[in-house]
Structure 1
């Protein structure tokens, strides 16, 4: 897999970012918080959303102020180009592949379909464990032997073998379960042949009984049909007689009810006439009291309104008078504040003049403090004295001269080696020709004798031996020179740091010289006085502002007093009008009105008692008319019911003469007996036929079961063979996993040793990796002895963790084409970061594409392509950096 392009929109701090990736080492660099690691998160989200990564949620990825989070990843795998797009906010996604002429959809356009497709192409666990080295993974390696073992299992893919080992156990258990089930089945079906013979005998008996019973049923059916016809005739006559009897009884009841209702209606009409006469007297009394009741209501309403409005307005008037009094008191207080304001303004002018005089000294003190802080910072960064720097510079100059000498000598060695190899080829070719030659010698042209042949071959072989010895000596000298060259390179790598240290010394001297021109103690006193005056002036200005604000309130208070006075006048006018209205009603005070209301109250209460009398009179009159009409209808119904009753009684007498209950009962008994006998015969026949069918079906199943039993016996033998094969395969998987882990850890240990030696300047001569049950122990070789992690310093522990994790990925370099490193340099010191550059150049180039995210500028020296991320106005901006800049 190789990443070609990443396009991110409204993701965290990225508004619209496009990043192109090439083969080789791609470095994404920027300060912390600039948004560089967000690009890796966007890559994970783009490839595996929504189920992975689990620690990211939709609401966390949308940029503040953004509208829609979108991610597009272009990548190549196994020679095919792919494009994967997701709109996280809208829940949309698609995956496409390029067929050489156009882009075509690889799966359905949904988040789940695209996620499942990507999991099949590159599983998430493979991507996260083999391809992507996260920030916290180095710490996990160092945390414990158990956590280190977990990382190794994930990266090397050992879990799939462990899963296979466990799954094969489950397969074996399933096979054993099926063997047990099959054996139980065969044991339970041993007597099948005996059951089949018994079933065939039962079938023969059932067929014989069916043939004897079948002719009897039609005879019984014909006899039952004649009895049933006669029974139906008698049933119909009985039903008709019963119906007439019921109707006669019902009509007799109806006639009695109508006679009772007639008496009741005549009684209710007499009572209604008496009630109507009483209601007529109540209506006349109600009309006489109507005028007094209306006067009572009018006076009562006026009194309620008069009392409510007077009480409310008198309360408002009292409130307005209190407000006016308070306002006048406040205005008197504000007149005193004007004198205070003039005094504060004079004091402020005095402090401003003093502050202006101290301002220059305060600025000078701040400048001196800034220079002192810079000087302190530079001194902390300084690690060497000027004498040490000059000494190291001399060493570096000597190293440069010696490097040139070594390079010249190596060139001479290469030339000399080439001449010796050419001579060796010539002598070997001559020996081959001599061995084949006949007649004349191919070397000197003389007659070739066997003695002469042997002499020349011996001579050339001696020369080849001398050439071989010379080549060995040249190789040994080259190894010595290259070993010396490695040490010289270590010295030359310090040149950049020495230049920085020299620049620091020059800056320190310049700052010390500038600080001599300041009297820091005097300036400090002036600065403190300046701050004191500044605080006092700030307090005074605050008091001035509050005093002015208070004086501004005077105008508002005068306006409020005028408005409140006008409101009071209106309230008093309303109270006067209420008293005038009382007099217009004919009362000089409220007490007279109360006396009048007490006088009218009894008439009003009687009026209320009689207010429904008119409606009751009309209702009673209407009810009486209705009762009279109902009386006439009942008389008419009673006559009709009497005539109908006589007709039904005559008809019933005729039907009873035609019916005999004794004959009816005999016919019913004969019908029941025949029907019961017929039903028994039919039930017996059905039972026999059902038994026949069941026996035939059971017989068929038993014969099929007999054939199935033969197949099960064969299947049992195959299952036993399969169980043995699964157990054998399970053992092979266990042995292969152990061999793979042992071999992989040995190779990883070799690679980690090389990297760790370089990171620690060859202080340690190797790394030991030992696998135990659920543990992987790490150690180092120091002075020929193995040491534990507790022997290492903090920086060395980090270097070892980084070396071990890089070794895991480099072990897989032949299987993976992409490696992603997220911040590989945290906690590494300057020297180890510089060494990491060399390691990346030598080792990581074995992997076709590497993407590194870091804030360390030094890693640019190892990169083929540099992408810088910065934060501008809260938005991440991505720019490509030219190498060497």
Structure 2
């Protein structure tokens, strides 16, 4: 797997970031908090969301002020290019591959589907354990033997074999459960033959009863059929008689209803004819009043229009006259403004000349204010007095010298302590050998007596005691030196503060020198005078602008006055035309018009009352026509109903002659009796057949159970063999896991030894890695002796943890094509960081692509590509730099 490109949007401190990765060593560098490790977290989320470490939560990754978190990863695997895109906020995702011409989907577009596909391509555990070395793994390696073994299991994939070993146990338990089930089944089905014999006897009895009952049913069915036929004939005859009686009652009702309907229709025709006569008189009156009504409407309409238009136009005319008068008054006022405008223009030019003469002084004053502001800010930042700066400089120089002395003394103490511990080990070993020895001394080879043995043991014990006291003295001295070193380091940390304060002091002196060149009081007065002149100029220009604006309105006012006069003339013409229309109608005044309208109003009201008479007359005539037609149809229908009623009564008399109620009841009783007897026989036969079928089904199942019992017996033998094979395979997995772990740890130990030797300048000659019951023990070889982690200084412990973790990944270098290291240099001193650069160049180049995140600039020397991350206005910014290999 090789990462090609990462695109991140609104992820933690990243707004929109694009990063390209190449083969070789890619270094992501920048200060802590700038967003370096966020790029690795985004890569992990882009590939495997929603699977991710517990410290990566959805609510914590959206950038403050961002809209939605999006991650796109381009990578190559086995010669095929892929891309995965995820919108974490909206829960959207897709995965595609490139077929040489275009991108195509590899799965459905959902977060879980993409995660499952990626899990099949590169499992999450493999990526997180073998490929990605996260911050904190070095601490886990150094924490304890148990935590170290957990890291080894995860990186080397030993958990898979442990899972297989446990799973095979579960398989064996399942086989044993099935064996037990088969044995129970065979025991419970031992008496199948006896059950089958009993069922066969029961089946024989049932068949005999069926044979006796079967002939009786056809005889009963024949007799019942004859009775049922006669009963059907009588039922049909009775039904026909009842139907005829019902029809006769219906016909009689219809005749009575038709007779009543005829009387109502004749009465209605008389009333309609009377109504038509009344309406014909109203229609004649309506046509006579039509002319007066139309004249009334015409005069009313004109009267309304006359009143509305006259009132509206008279109001407009009055408004136009008022506006014309106001414009004439304003034009008179504007004639006085021209003189004032010329006076103000002259005053404006005088003020501008004075202001220009003061501009140099104003600029100088602004510069003085800027210098004073800078001086005040610098003085606030200056925390030390000149004598304190000088004293701090001397303290820092002394601290540098003392640090070198302490480090040299600590190295001497470590060396001497190692020699003393070696002597203690040698003497303790000698004591043990002496306690076991018999005959000759294992040290000098001379004859060994009990007294001589005790003397030698006592001597060695005293030597061990003296050496241990000396070691404690060295430890006490080391503790004091390290305590003093902490204080010295605290003093040295103030060197940056000293440099900053010295620079501030020099800047303050320079600014104070510049300020002495200016006449501050004279410049201040010049600025005040300039401000007063500018205020006066503003007032003059404001008044001048207002006057010119008003004066420029004269022409517009003249134009507006002419427009208003034309509109007034048009209104006056309209009023004259309106009076002309009144005269054309024959009236000299509106009063005459109102009198004529009043005269015509009663005729108009009567006209409205009679307006619907014509349509109502037409409607009544049509109604008369429909009613007369309906009367004729009713008379015809009455004649037909009477004839039909007569025929039905004759047919009823003929049917009643053929029917006997007594015979009908007797036949019905016979039919019920025979039906019950037949139903009983059929039910009895059905129960016997059901019993027969059930018994046969039981016999069939018992036969099948007999065959199944043979199969289960055979299955039991197979299960017993399978249990033996699973137990054998489980033992092989256990042995293979132990062998794989032993081989891997041996190779990891070799690689870790090489790296650790270089990190410690070959002070140590190797690293020991041993698998024990409770974990993996890690040690070092010094002067031919093996020591635990307690023998190492703090920096050496960190170097050993880093060497061991890199060795684990290098052991897998033939299987992985990508390695990611997040901050591999925490707590390493400057010398070990430089050596790590050499190690990366020599060892990590065995892996096709390496991505390293660090804040240490020294690692640039080992990188093929540098990706620099900085923080600008709270947002992470990335710049990429190609380097020569």
Select 1:94's aligned residue among 87, 93, 96. 96
**Contact in 2 for aligned 1:95/1:107 (Cα 8 Å):** yes
The match for 1:880 is 881
Distance 2:392 2:882 in 1: 36
Distance 1:25 1:618, change over 3 A: closer
Distance 2:344 2:199 in 1: 128
SS of the counterpart of 2:852?
strand
1:362: how far off?
Answer: 3.7
1:375: how far off?
Answer: 11
SS of the counterpart of 1:621?
helix
Is 109-118 or 193-202 further displaced after alignment? 193-202
The 5-angstrom pairing of residues 418-567 of structure 1 reads 518-519=514-515, 522=518, 550=546, 553-554=549-550, 555=552, 559=556, 563=560, 566=563
The match for 1:358 is 362
Q: What does the per-residue CA deviation read over 1:781-810, in whole Å, with 9 as the maximum and x for residues that have no partner?
A: xxxxx99xxxxxxxx9xx999989968954
Distance 1:83 1:573 in 2: 90
1:395: how far off?
Answer: 9.1
The match for 2:4 is 5
Distance 1:123 1:535 in 2: 76
Q: What does the per-residue CA deviation read over 1:637-671, in whole Å, with 9 as the maximum and x for residues that have no partner?
A: 22222223223322332222222222233223322
**Contact in 2 for aligned 1:209/1:688 (Cα 8 Å):** yes
SS of the counterpart of 1:249?
helix
The 5-angstrom pairing of residues 519-668 of structure 1 reads 519=515, 522=518, 550=546, 553-554=549-550, 555=552, 559=556, 563=560, 566=563, 569=568, 597=597, 599-668=599-668
SS of the counterpart of 2:623?
helix
The match for 1:119 is 119
**Contact in 2 for aligned 1:43/1:73 (Cα 8 Å):** no
**Contact in 1 for aligned 2:258/2:638 (Cα 8 Å):** yes
The 5-angstrom pairing of residues 791-870 of structure 1 reads 809-810=805-806, 812-813=808-809, 814-815=811-812, 817=816, 818-821=818-821, 834=830, 837-838=833-834, 840-841=836-837, 847=844, 848=847, 849-853=849-853, 857-868=857-868
Q: What does the per-residue CA deviation read over 1:256-306, in whole Å, with 9 as the maximum and x for residues that have no partner?
A: 222221111111101111111111222223223333433443344445545
Distance 1:609 1:195 in 2: 109
Is 125-134 or 866-875 further displaced after alignment? 866-875
Distance 2:516 2:158 in 1: 69
The match for 1:83 is 81
The match for 1:276 is 276
Distance 1:809 1:544, change over 3 A: farther
Distance 1:624 1:564, change over 3 A: farther
Matched, 1:231 2:231: yes
Q: What does the per-residue CA deviation read over 1:74-104, in whole Å, with 9 as the maximum and x for residues that have no partner?
A: 335xxx3342124669965324699xxx999
**Contact in 2 for aligned 1:26/1:867 (Cα 8 Å):** yes
The match for 2:489 is none
**Contact in 2 for aligned 1:61/1:69 (Cα 8 Å):** no
**Contact in 2 for aligned 1:866/1:881 (Cα 8 Å):** yes
Is 89-98 or 625-634 further displaced after alignment? 89-98
Distance 1:183 1:245 in 2: 81
Distance 1:559 1:181 in 2: 116
Distance 1:611 1:671, change over 3 A: same
Distance 1:812 1:571, change over 3 A: farther
Distance 1:669 1:553 in 2: 125
Distance 2:45 2:624 in 1: 91
Matched, 1:257 2:261: no
Q: What does the per-residue CA deviation read over 1:90-121, in whole Å, with 9 as the maximum and x for residues that have no partner?
A: 965324699xxx99999557566554221123
Distance 1:21 1:302, change over 3 A: same
1:224: how far off?
Answer: 2.1
Distance 1:298 1:18, change over 3 A: same
The 5-angstrom pairing of residues 149-228 of structure 1 reads 156=154, 202-228=202-228
Distance 1:152 1:320 in 2: 101
**Contact in 1 for aligned 2:802/2:824 (Cα 8 Å):** no
1:624: how far off?
Answer: 0.5
**Contact in 2 for aligned 1:214/1:685 (Cα 8 Å):** yes
The match for 2:22 is 21
Distance 2:294 2:646 in 1: 67
Q: What does the per-residue CA deviation read over 1:664-719, in whole Å, with 9 as the maximum and x for residues that have no partner?
A: 3322332232233222222221222123223333454466668879959979x989
The match for 1:691 is 691
Distance 1:290 1:132, change over 3 A: farther
Is 107-116 or 386-395 further displaced after alignment? 386-395
Q: What does the per-residue CA deviation read over 1:219-242, in whole Å, with 9 as the maximum and x for residues that have no partner?
A: 112222222333333333333333
1:632: how far off?
Answer: 1.7
Distance 1:623 1:227, change over 3 A: same
SS of the counterpart of 1:75?
strand
**Contact in 2 for aligned 1:86/1:94 (Cα 8 Å):** yes
Unaligned runs of 5+ in 2: 409-492, 761-773, 775-788
* TM-score when normalising by structure 1: 0.60
Distance 2:699 2:329 in 1: 121
* TM-score when normalising by structure 2: 0.60
Distance 1:191 1:246, change over 3 A: farther
Distance 2:856 2:310 in 1: 87
Distance 1:655 1:503, change over 3 A: closer
Q: What does the per-residue CA deviation read over 1:27-47, in whole Å, with 9 as the maximum and x for residues that have no partner?
A: 4569998x9778656644653
**Contact in 1 for aligned 2:29/2:856 (Cα 8 Å):** no
Distance 1:642 1:241, change over 3 A: same
**Contact in 1 for aligned 2:25/2:852 (Cα 8 Å):** no
Distance 1:664 1:815, change over 3 A: same
SS of the counterpart of 2:79?
strand
**Contact in 1 for aligned 2:251/2:641 (Cα 8 Å):** yes
**Contact in 1 for aligned 2:138/2:805 (Cα 8 Å):** no
Distance 1:278 1:106, change over 3 A: closer
**Contact in 1 for aligned 2:46/2:85 (Cα 8 Å):** no
SS of the counterpart of 1:21?
coil
Is 503-512 or 607-616 further displaced after alignment? 503-512
Q: What does the per-residue CA deviation read over 1:524-557, in whole Å, with 9 as the maximum and x for residues that have no partner?
A: 7788778878877887787677667655753469
The match for 2:427 is none
1:626: how far off?
Answer: 1.4
Distance 1:186 1:344, change over 3 A: farther
SS of the counterpart of 1:611?
coil
Q: What does the per-residue CA deviation read over 1:405-425, in whole Å, with 9 as the maximum and x for residues that have no partner?
A: xxxxxxxxxxxxxxxxxxxxx
Q: What does the per-residue CA deviation read over 1:374-420, in whole Å, with 9 as the maximum and x for residues that have no partner?
A: 9999999x999999799899999x99xx9xxxxxxxxxxxxxxxxxx
The 5-angstrom pairing of residues 621-770 of structure 1 reads 621-701=621-701
**Contact in 2 for aligned 1:821/1:853 (Cα 8 Å):** yes
Distance 2:349 2:129 in 1: 74
Cα RMSD between the aligned structures? 7.0
**Contact in 1 for aligned 2:138/2:798 (Cα 8 Å):** no
Distance 2:106 2:663 in 1: 89
SS of the counterpart of 1:518?
helix
Unaligned runs of 5+ in 1: 403-496, 759-771, 773-785, 788-795
Q: What does the per-residue CA deviation read over 1:723-757, in whole Å, with 9 as the maximum and x for residues that have no partner?
A: x99xx99xx99x99xx99xx99x99xx99x989x9
Is 49-58 or 82-91 further displaced after alignment? 49-58
The 5-angstrom pairing of residues 39-54 of structure 1 reads 40=40, 43-44=43-44, 47-48=47-48
